[in-house]
Amino acid sequence: MPKIIKPAKGTFTTADITVDSSGRIVAAATGSAGGGVNVAKNFFDTGSGTWTANANATSASAFIKGGGGGGGGFQNNVPSPKPGKSGGPGGYGFFFAPVTGGDSYAYSIGSGGNGGPSQQQGQAGQASSVTNIGTANGGTGGGRGPQPPGNPGNAPGSTGDFSGNNTLLVTGDSSGGGGGGATGGSGQAGQAGFIFIYDNSGSV
C-alpha cells in the first residue's frame, strides 16, 4: 500500500500529488483549479457591437451562424417556366478560443441575402464573426428558374462545422436560406445569422 515518506501535514485543496516509481506518495501540495465552467453570456441576432469577456475568463466558446442566401426569382422566359431555387443556408459552427478577461471583442451578425426579383438570382448572405474567435460565412443566393439552388456557407477553423445540417440549428426556420419565387414572383430573403457566446469564468 502506498505510504507517504515525507511529512506533508495540512489540508490540501485540489491537491498536486507526486508518486515515485514504487507507487509511494513522496510529496503533496495545494494545486490550482482548472478553468471555470462555461457559462452562457450573450445571444446576438442582429447588428454589430462588442462583447466583453468576464474579468476572470481565459477561454470562450461560441456557436456562430452566417446569413442565409436569398431565393432566386421565377423565370418565365424559357420554354418551360420554372420557379426560383432556394438560397443556401448560412454556415454554422462551434468555435473555441482563448480570451483575455476584461477585454472586448468585436462581433458582427450577417444579414440574410435579398431574394432575387423575377428572372434574377438571389443575393448571398453575409458572414457572422467574433474577433479572435471565429467566422461563419453566408450561403450563396438561389438560382433563377432552372438554375441550381444556393450552396451552404461554411465555418472555417471551427471545432465542429455543422453547415448544412439543419437539425442542429436552434431557430424556427431551420434552412436559413430564402425560398425561391413562385409563378411570376420574387424569391424570399434569407434568414439572418446569430452568435451565442459562452466563457469559462464560471459566473453569470
How does pLDDT run across 144-189, given as a tens digit for each residue? 888 899 999 999 999 888 887 655 555 444 456 778 777 778 889 9
My answer on whether 154 and 179 are in the same domain is yes
My answer on whether 96 and 165 are in the same domain is yes
My answer on whether 117 and 192 are in the same domain is yes
**pLDDT over 90 (residue 84):** no
Give 67: exposed, middle or buried? Use CB within 10 Å, 0-12, 13-18, 19+.
Answer: buried
d(CA 130, CA 30) in angstroms, rounded, equals 37
Residue range(s) defining the domain that contains residue 129: 36-204
My answer on whether 82 and 129 are in the same domain is yes
Per-residue pLDDT, 76: 81
My answer on whether 27 and 43 are in the same domain is no
31 or 88, which is more confident? 88
Per-residue pLDDT, 108: 96
Per-residue pLDDT, 189: 92
Percent of the chain's residues with pLDDT above 70: 75
My answer on whether 150 and 49 are in the same domain is yes
My answer on whether 145 and 169 are in the same domain is yes
My answer on whether 169 and 150 are in the same domain is yes
**Structural Rg of the chain based on CA atoms:** 25
My answer on whether 146 and 178 are in the same domain is yes
The whole-number average pLDDT for the span 11-39 is: 61
My answer on whether 9 and 52 are in the same domain is no
Q: Are 139 and 189 in contact (CB under 8 A)?
A: no
Number of domains comprising the chain: 2
**pLDDT over 80 (residue 74):** yes
67 or 25, which is more confident? 67
My answer on whether 97 and 78 are in the same domain is yes
My answer on whether 80 and 118 are in the same domain is yes
